[in-house]
Structures are given as structure tokens and as C-alpha cells.
A and B are shown apart, each in its own frame.
Chain A
Amino acid sequence: MSVSPLLVQGVAALLFVLGVATVLSRRNLFFVLMGVELLLNAANLSFIGFASQFPGTAGMDGQLMVLLVIAVAAAEACIGLALVVCLFRGRGSLDIDAYSALKE
């Protein structure tokens, strides 16, 4: 009944890297948003992986921090999707390269 903590952190790092690749390489707004969700989840897995190794309150703190991250993710999805709907209404495009007005 033991999972190697290093293995858990490795899985979390791989998930984080896949999330970074999604955010950077996709052009669709939805994929960028979902990539950010993946990043937050990878951080959560890392927190819980470390929390499972520490006894007492130190381990509990790691789990409580995950609760805050989940609340932040919910707020981020809420605002992000409202922004996507606004952008789509105004320009009718989901391509992030279409929104480069600040560059010019």
C-alpha cells in the first residue's frame, strides 16, 4: 500500500507540461481555457501528493490549499467563459490571433 511520492510528482509534472503545450500551441480560445484548467489540476495533484506524505496538520494544509485552488478555478472558468462569449459576440471568431488589437 505505497505509491512512490516521486512517481506522483512525475505525473503532476507531465500533466503540467501537457497543459503548457496546450496553452501555447492551440489557437482556439476554448483550448487555451481548458489548458489553464489542466495546469491548475496538475498543481492540485502535486499538493495532494506531498500532503499524503506528511503527518498531522502539515498534510492537512496541503489538502486545504487544494480547496482554494478549486474555488479559483471555478471563478476563472466563470470569468473566462463570459469573456469568450463577449469576444465571440463582437468579432465572431474564436481564433486568438484575431484579437491582436493591442499590438497595432
Chain B
Amino acid sequence: MADVLFIIFALAALLGATGLLASRHPLAGALCLVGTMLGLSGLYALLAAPFLAVVQILTYAGAIMMLIIFVIMVLGGAIDRSLPHSGRSRLATGLGLAAGLFSVLALALSKTVIPAEALQPAREIPAIGLALFAPESGWWLLILSASLLLLAAMAAAILLAKRRLDAEPEEHAVVEEHA
């Protein structure tokens, strides 16, 4: 049963990633990436990480992909008619480098000794919380740094999107012209 589910979810993730690579319109690519996120969330649930499966759906498929799709829509579908799908030489470079990277990764994996322990039982949410905030483990630094990072990112995004805080909204004309 777990094997069948694993194959289904892994296929969903891989097909979504392939669709992202091959799709023409950014919106189609974003929807393919949502499929990848959902498949990955199923994989996390299979791999003893039910909490991260939920976080994956909430944060990635819910928040991040929604943000990307929102900006694609705001920029008028964001498709340039003159923009080629991708340059031929660029495609060859990308696929060649990817194939080389995969051979390196496969070589590294074939030399890795993974302990043949049984799959661990699913880790419950209280255990994750206790591990995260245990004073002796130091993982609370992760929460601190993540919150600082998110705060800085939010401030930077506001500053970037609103060029001058005292600027009049004459920038709207520029955006609509291209939309």
C-alpha cells in the first residue's frame, strides 16, 4: 500500500516538475508547480512527517504559489509574445548541465551507505514542538533567525515595491501601459 502511494505521489511530483520545464505560459507552469507541491506533501506524510506535510500545503501550495500566481496575474498574464520559449543553445546548455549534475548525484548516492533501519514511526506535533524549543538543543535559534529573516524580507519587499514612500501614485500609469 505504501509503495503504491509512494509511486503515485512521486509521479505527481515528477510530472509537475516536467510540466514546469516544458510549459509555455507562466500560469501553466505555476499550476504544474502546485501539482509538484501537493505530490511532495503526500510523500512527506508517507515519510513520517505529517506536520511538514500540512505545512507544505499551507505554506507552499497555499501562500507562496498563491503569491506567485497573483503577481503573474497582476503583470497582465506576464507573457511576452516576442519572447521565445527558450533559446536553442540555452536549452542545450541547461539540459546538458542538468544531465551532468544528475550523474554526479547518482554517483554520490550509489556510494552512500544508508542505514537499513525500518521507517520510523510518524513524529507527532508535540514531539516536534518539544524538540524545537528544548533549551539544550539550540533549535530555538532557528525560530529567532527565521523570524528575523521574514521581518527583513517583509520590510525590503515594501521598500522595493513602493519606490519612494512619499511618491504620488503616478506609477500606476506605467504599470497599466504594459499590462
B174 touching A89, Cβ below 8 Å? yes
Taking CB as reference atom, which chain A residue is nearest B80? A94
Known: A34-B29, A34-B33, A89-B171. A13 touches B178 (CB 8 A): no
A82 touching B156, Cβ below 8 Å? yes
A34 touching B30, Cβ below 8 Å? yes
A102 within 8 A of B: no
Dominant secondary structure at the A interface: helix
Which residues of A from 37 to 80 have beta carbons under 8 Å from B?
37-38, 41, 44-45, 48-55, 57, 59-61, 63-68, 70-79
Query: How big is the A interface, by class?
Result: 35 or more
B175 touching A3, Cβ below 8 Å? no
How far in angstroms is the closest Cβ of chain B from A72? 7
Which residues of B from 106 to 151 have beta carbons under 8 Å from A?
106, 109, 112, 114-115, 117-120, 123, 127-128, 131-132, 137, 139, 142, 145-146, 149-150
How far in angstroms is the closest Cβ of chain A from B165? 15
B20 touching A45, Cβ below 8 Å? no
A9 touching B160, Cβ below 8 Å? no
- Bound together, the chains give a CA A57 to CA B136 distance in angstroms of 12
- Bound together, the chains give a CA A102 to CA B139 distance in angstroms of 40
With a CB–CB cut-off of 8 A, which chain B residues contact A25?
Answer: 21, 86, 90-91, 93-95
- Bound together, the chains give a CA A92 to CA B10 distance in angstroms of 38
How far in angstroms is the closest Cβ of chain A from B153? 4
- Bound together, the chains give a CA A71 to CA B114 distance in angstroms of 28
Taking CB as reference atom, which chain A residue is nearest B14? A14
The 3 closest A-B pairs by CB, nearest first: A25-B94, A24-B94, A75-B153
Sampled A-B contacts (18; CB under 8 Å)? A1-B1, A2-B119, A15-B13, A17-B98, A18-B14, A22-B17, A24-B94, A25-B94, A28-B26, A45-B44, A51-B47, A54-B115, A74-B59, A74-B153, A78-B153, A78-B154, A86-B160, A86-B161
- Chain B residues in the interface with A (C-beta under 8 A): 1-3, 6, 10, 13-14, 17-18, 20-21, 26, 29-30, 33, 36-37, 40, 43-44, 46-49, 51-52, 55-56, 59-60, 63-64, 67-68, 71-72, 74-75, 78-80, 83-84, 86-87, 90-91, 93-95, 97-99, 101-102, 105-106, 109, 112, 114-115, 117-120, 123, 127-128, 131-132, 137, 139, 142, 145-146, 149-150, 152-154, 156-157, 160-161, 163, 171, 174-175, 177-178
